[in-house]
Chain A
């Protein structure tokens, strides 16, 4: 059928016909009037005929479509099983890929709430030192350097590289104080982002002056939770860390930058170039490229190296990151990997469904041949297949979308908290458009097989082939390709899934060095004017004494930075007494530095292997001491010394080692660390976290802490309450998420593959029913028949597995940083996946073959 339909030439045709009839009478010597009357009579009313023809052609078209649809429904009921299977398979594939697409769309594709986000970049530094790639932050004066040297800069602001340590205790009137993440920033931050305050005013440069009146801008969530969304908050004065701040504005809901900031305060002008803790956020003028910014920033930092050779090295380079990439960070790669895996699965589902359709076509060859001999054109038959495939694909898309909606909800709940904006994922227009495209592809995939079989085929041969027993060669070759590619895909997904699962299990079983996972931990960094080293020490001594005195509490202690708080931490250079003379002071190793109170190790459950814990006699005035972890002690022993009473130089002072603890991990579950602990009374570095255990519930423990805290200092607030178990869980959440997704994919892949193999073998024994019956009649053994009917399918599966294993090996190598404690080429993993896949293929193909080989040969011979 041509599209768009051409104009029907009926009127020209009728005109000719009319003239011919008229001429006929004129030739017989009738008068003009008589001839016209005759022609009119014979031809009928021309307008009516035209009308009927036009209606006819439309009605006919619709009729044909209805006939094809009816045919599809009829063959659906006749060959229903296979089509239902195909639809289910497609639905699973579509459901998984639409769900993944929605997540990726929410996190990576949706534009940020910042206009022209493509022009906004973050700038910091990297410095390739002798053997280490160091990340460098900026100091306040570098804002001026960037403004002076980067052309096409529309606006630029500084924010802290991490919000950690910038929490503020917010006190509104007489309300209970709360700790809130706060972002100190220079005046232009919201101009860079191009978001205006919803209430009040933006920062001004004058707010940065060291002498300016303190002001604060509220985030939407803080405005709602702490201020009851009152519109008259602007101008109100609240206390931050005990200092009065005037609220000058409230930001709209989507202005969450940096992520997690609840308050913004002006960053005070600071002239020291050594105070590097900031990164720049810059908006370029429209049309200038990231590369241009990269070059300009590099040039700026080169100039710094020549102007201030003491502060900067010539090897420092600029790191320019688009804001979208900065916000999605590492989740980017992982989500994309999952998306690719789900697309592979979708391809696999399409292949499976296509395979089923092809099988059906082979079974229905005779029906097709008969229809062709009855005058159906090839395109008509293809049309019929297309309608059938479209019906199946549409049903699958509907079912798949329902599945996807459920999956999205589950995945959001499973997702680790550090994947930004994932909670916004839902089955929206984009996802549905994606599903529609997928449906189209699935339909195409299901038509390709039948089309290839039909194409260029001698229909007589087809008819004969149907009568005889041999399968279509084109069809069989195609099915072999399907089996091959599907088994390769399945093995690859299975292997990567198993690797991630094993690596997650190793992770969970790793001895982290903390026995007491029920230990409650919380941030209690002292804030406010007048907080000095002495005040802090007195505060913690007093608080801990009161807590330990409570009968509900078994132990309580404080630490500088609790375990698994994130990749942040105090890394400090150290060297031992025995190597004091030989160490190059410019290349010292680093260890995790912690300040702790006595009782810390007992509370978190880190074993003391030798020596003693800190005690109340480790005062500022007594010998300076340290406790080291076993990994460091081993180094001392290897040099032939006893670690106890050996000396270590850390944080600029020599200390006597009084104890050795078991190795414990502080940054990440998968990262070992050397630890150096010093007592809180012998260091100016603060303790910021409280850790405690008791024999009451976590809620009661926290209530007790709040009560006690109020008695000691009512202006302080705790934040980030979590047990050690929670912290460890959060640290591995990403891995758990990846594993869950891949297991989901692996299960889907196995289902699809076994369905695919099963259908191929089943169709092949159906097509060859007569031949098989003949062989049974001639006395062939059942086992031998089974082997004969399945061997070629299994051979293709096996061949696919080799490619799949190779693919898994390469995939595993590129994703090696996601793996822990297991090699991507682990032969046991690859072998067990290959064996498992083969077992699945074996069983799936054996069942129909075994049934066929056990049939009564009379039935098979009589059939047809």
Chain B
């Protein structure tokens, strides 16, 4: 898989996670791992550049809050543009997943 797609996929996954609720970096990484039954192992460090990219594209925004462990953590949530974007991404993903699975079936 090309780096571009990987990056795009990570962005999509982050947006998807945040579409449920706001989360801090640690929670985002954990949630991606848990939901994929640990199949997708996220390099926690590489999460942050992706978060920054989404933030400066105006898709997510961040503010400081208190974590369940009662510590100060930076929480990310979707902006309205981000909410629209995840719809587009989901649609695109559905379409390409559908296409790929059809290709795989006929093989």
Contacts and interface: CB of A to CB of B under 8 A. Distances in A.
A1 B52 CA distance: 12
Interface in B28-71: 29, 43-46, 48-49, 52-53, 56-59, 64, 67, 69, 71
A16 B24 contact: yes
Contacts of B85: 374-375
Contact of B26 (A10, A12, A20, A374): A20
A503 to B, nearest CB: 61
A53 interface: yes
Given A44-B46, A375-B59, A16 B81 contact: no
A375 B44 contact: no
B88 interface: yes
Nearest to B88: A374
Interface residues on B, range: 20 to 34
Contact of A53 (B48, B69, B71): B48
Contact of A44 (B44, B72, B82): B44
B72 to A, nearest CB: 7
Contacts of B74: 9, 12-13, 16
B56 A16 contact: no
Given A14-B48, A17-B44, A49-B48, A57 B56 contact: yes
A3 B71 CA distance: 29
Contacts of B98: none
Contacts of A56: 49, 52-53
A49 B56 contact: no
A592 B71 CA distance: 100
B94 interface: no
Contact of B44 (A12, A21, A52, A374): A21
Contacts of A13: 24-25, 48, 73-74
Interface string B77-104: 0010110110010000000000000000
Contacts of B44: 17, 21, 42-44
A376 B81 contact: yes
Contact of B58 (A14, A19, A49, A380): A380
Nearest to A43: B44
A82 B18 CA distance: 43
A17 B26 CA distance: 5
Contacts of A48: 45
A57 B51 CA distance: 10
Contact of B67 (A16, A376, A380): A16
A377 interface: yes
Contacts of A43: 44-45
A17 B25 contact: yes
Given A44-B45, A53-B49, A377 B81 contact: yes
A56 B46 CA distance: 11
Contacts of B81: 375-377
A52 B26 contact: no
B46 A16 contact: no
B91 to A, nearest CB: 12
Contacts of A44: 43-46
A53 B43 contact: no
A246 interface: no
A858 interface: no
B75 to A, nearest CB: 10
Contacts of A377: 58, 79, 81
A60 B45 contact: no
A538 interface: no
A60 B88 CA distance: 22
A132 B84 CA distance: 81
Nearest to B82: A375
Contacts of B58: 375-377, 380
Interface string A18-35: 011101000000000000
Contacts of A52: 45, 48-49
A45 interface: yes
B77 to A, nearest CB: 15
Contact of A61 (B49, B56, B73): B56
Contacts of A49: 45-46, 48-49
Contacts of B25: 13, 16-17
Contact of A16 (B26, B45, B53): B26
B39 to A, nearest CB: 16
B22 to A, nearest CB: 14
Given A16-B26, A16-B67, A16-B71, A60 B48 contact: no
B57 A16 contact: no
Contacts of B45: 43-46, 48-49, 52
Contact of B48 (A10, A19, A42, A64): A10
A373 interface: yes
B49 A16 contact: no
Nearest to A13: B74
B26 A60 contact: no
A19 B88 contact: no
B106 to A, nearest CB: 32
A383 to B, nearest CB: 11
B43 A19 contact: no
B55 to A, nearest CB: 9
A19 B82 CA distance: 29
A369 to B, nearest CB: 12
A375 B74 CA distance: 23
Nearest to A48: B45
A1 B48 contact: no
A752 to B, nearest CB: 38
Interface string A50-77: 0011001100110010000000000000
Contacts of B46: 44, 49
A8 B62 CA distance: 12
Contacts of B59: 375
A189 B1 CA distance: 89
A19 B56 contact: no
Nearest to A10: B48
A1 B57 contact: no
A774 to B, nearest CB: 33
A191 B73 CA distance: 75
Given A44-B44, A53-B52, A21 B88 contact: no
A682 to B, nearest CB: 97
Contact of A375 (B49, B64, B69, B84): B84
A44 B44 CA distance: 7
A17 B56 CA distance: 21
A739 to B, nearest CB: 56
Contacts of B26: 16-17, 20-21
Contacts of B84: 373-375
Interface in A374-402: 374-377, 380
Interface string A294-338: 000000000000000000000000000000000000000000000
Contacts of A16: 24-26, 67, 71-74
Interface string A484-508: 0000000000000000000000000
Contacts of A1: 56
Given A9-B74, A374-B88, A376-B81, 11 more contacts: A10-B48, A16-B25, A16-B74, A52-B48, A52-B49, A56-B53, A60-B52, A64-B56, A375-B57, A377-B79, A377-B81
14 contacts: A13-B24, A13-B48, A17-B29, A20-B69, A44-B43, A44-B44, A49-B46, A49-B49, A52-B45, A52-B49, A53-B48, A60-B53, A374-B85, A377-B79
Which are the 8 A-B pairs with shortest beta-carbon distances?
A44-B45, A49-B45, A375-B85, A20-B26, A377-B58, A375-B81, A56-B49, A43-B44
